Copies of this chain bind each other. A is one copy, B any other.
Amino acid sequence: MFLFCTAIPLHTTAPIEIIDVTMHIKDIFHQNRVQNGQITIYSAHSTAFVAINECESMLQQDMVTFLTQLVPQHQDFKHNRQPIDGRLNAHSHLLGLFMNASETIPIADGELLLGRWQSIFFIELDGPREERTLRIQIIGER
């Protein structure tokens, strides 16, 4: 059984930001390839998550607009009355209820089974942030 875990450090520059990490993850897979197994992508945050979706710059702009409008930041949230870290981020946590901390992609016959139009995204919901961490874990047999 082969097990490998690493981290991709990220910094974000906008309140909501959709970052394509597909190439990073493919590089990690090619350097730590298994013949059969799976790769798990894990966001170690409570206001940043993982999504698998299409990479197209106009679509990423639509995503930011959609998320911004669905749960506007400035509402009377209790979490924002005495913010521990000075951030008014209740809206980020609420959007996060509908997101994924982890996604798992199968690997079979040496191939990462990402679909043709699928890219892997880190979804920042409470940026900008200097230090974000995305965990990448490979499990399987070489």
Chain B residue at minimal CB-CB distance from A50:
B101
The main secondary structure of chain A at its interface with chain B is mixed
Q: Identify which of A53, A105, A108, A117 gathers the most chain B CB atoms within 10 Å of its CB.
A: A53
Q: What CA separation (Å) do A108 and B4 show in the bound complex? A: 8
Tell me if A13 counts as interface (CB < 8 A to partner B).
Answer: no
A38 touching B40 by the CB < 8 A rule?
Answer: yes
Chain A count of residues within 8 A CB distance of the other chain: 61
Each complex incorporates copies of this chain amounting to 3
A45 touching B99 by the CB < 8 A rule?
Answer: no
B51 touching A79 by the CB < 8 A rule?
Answer: no
B115 touching A63 by the CB < 8 A rule?
Answer: no
Smallest Cβ distance from A67 to chain B, in angstroms?
A: 7
Hey, which bits of chain A sit against chain B, CB under 8 A? 1, 3, 5, 36-38, 40, 42-47, 51-54, 56, 58-59, 61-63, 66-67, 71, 77-79, 81-82, 84, 90, 93-94, 96-106, 108, 113-119, 123, 133, 135, 137, 139-141
